[in-house]
Amino acid sequence: MGYYKSSEPKKKRSGYFASSFTGLIAGAVLVGVVIPEFADVNVSAENQPRTVETASGVQSVSDIVTTDVTEIVEATSAAVVGVTNMKTAQQNPFVPAANSEAKEAGTGSGVIYKKDNGSAYIVTNNHVVEGAEKVKVTLADETELDAEVLGTDVWTDLAVLKVDGDSISTVAEFGDSSVLKAGEPVIAIGNPLGLQFSGSVTTGVISGTERLVPIDINGDGTEDWQAEVLQTDAAINPGNSGGALINSQGQVIGINSMKIAQDAVEGIGLAIPINTAVPIIEDLEKEGEVERPAIGISIMDLAGIPKQYWNTELSLPANVTEGVVVSEVAPGSGADKAGIQAYDVIVEMDGEPVNSVLELRQHLYNETKIGETLNVKVYRGGELVEAEIELTESL
């Protein structure tokens, strides 16, 4: 996953400072009522309003206000850390290699979810640590720790890190993202724009659940996957990636991942549901990778092949206009053993039509398991052929 950007520059607005300052004053007057979702506001007995008189005789009232939000942030924010991707800059031929050092190439956020045997475990986004030569974690008290990348998964955009746990005391609690409702209040904690704004807090609501967002994994301009995400209007900015989306119980119900940033779009932040993330996190922590079923073929969309080849090389009937073309079969794979051949056109899997590579991949990853048998129908030489493929592990 990434960060959707608009290429159009935003126009500067005159009077911004004045209007912002006025808004700040108004916000100070209205404190305690600006977030109705978290309505409880408490002033403890020991923190009753007190009057302070300055040397010039001006009096001011000092209140210490505690709300549901402040209590949740106080309890959970230390479990959200900064994650820094370190890379060595392109080598200068006139500078000895021994003098080159890894430098900051990008920053994001992470969530401490577990402590065990003296170590702490952190979940973040794959795109935060992708390509890193070294990863550093910065705690809420600015302590820096070297992190080991235990595993990454490009399909879900998740990664798991391991650090020394001696200086870590706060661990996040995971909630249940399957029971979320639109309109439910949430808090986002992370490090927008890097560690300069570490521990930033924004609030909002769940705008929608089970949203599908197209993902281009390899950057070729073709949709490779559709990620199921939570939509929120809580502000999520670059650097928030990998941070926590928290419910009103102080539980992590999403891992912040991206934002749709266009001039015509406002307040659309996206997070990976924690119920989707947990099995991936477990695989990455234990195995360093996610075990997924594989057929053993290289494929392409029929729609991407010039139509003059549909009748010649593929020998397709005129009524077949969608499907997945097998370009190569791995020797010894389940597909090879089942008799699948190059130029076969897959049109059905387990009784469901397959119109594209995306649909095939989603069925394979979401509906099947390693060791199961996949029933497929393919067109070969103009004839519809059925085959049973035993699914093996794909890493």
Residue 345 phi, psi dihedral angles, 5° rounding: -115, 110
Q: Kindly name the residue from 68, 77, 127, 356 that is annotated as catalytic.
A: 127
Token pair for residue 358?
């995306």
157 is catalytic: yes
H or E element at residue 390 = strand 383-390
Strands 185-190 and 134-138: unpaired
**Do residues 236 and 3 make contact, with C-beta atoms less than 8 angstroms apart?**
no
Helix, strand or coil for residue 305? coil
Q: Kindly name the residue from 68, 77, 153, 157 that is annotated as catalytic.
A: 157
127 is catalytic: yes
Token pair for residue 146?
């070297």
Token pair for residue 102?
């890894």
Q: Kindly name the residue from 200, 207, 241, 356 that is annotated as catalytic.
A: 241
Residue 327 phi, psi dihedral angles, 5° rounding: -95, -25
3-state SS string for 81-93: EEEEEEEECCCCC
Q: What is the DSSP letter of 356?
A: S
Report, in angstroms and rounded to the nearest whole number, the Rg of the chain calculated over CA atoms: 26
H or E element at residue 116 = strand 102-116
Greatest Cα pair distance, the chain, in angstroms, is 95
Strand-pairing partners, residue 134, are: 86
Cα separation, 174 vs 162, whole angstroms: 18
**Which of 295, 287, 284 has its CA nearest to residue 368?**
295
Residues annotated as catalytic (active site), given as ranges? 127, 157, 241
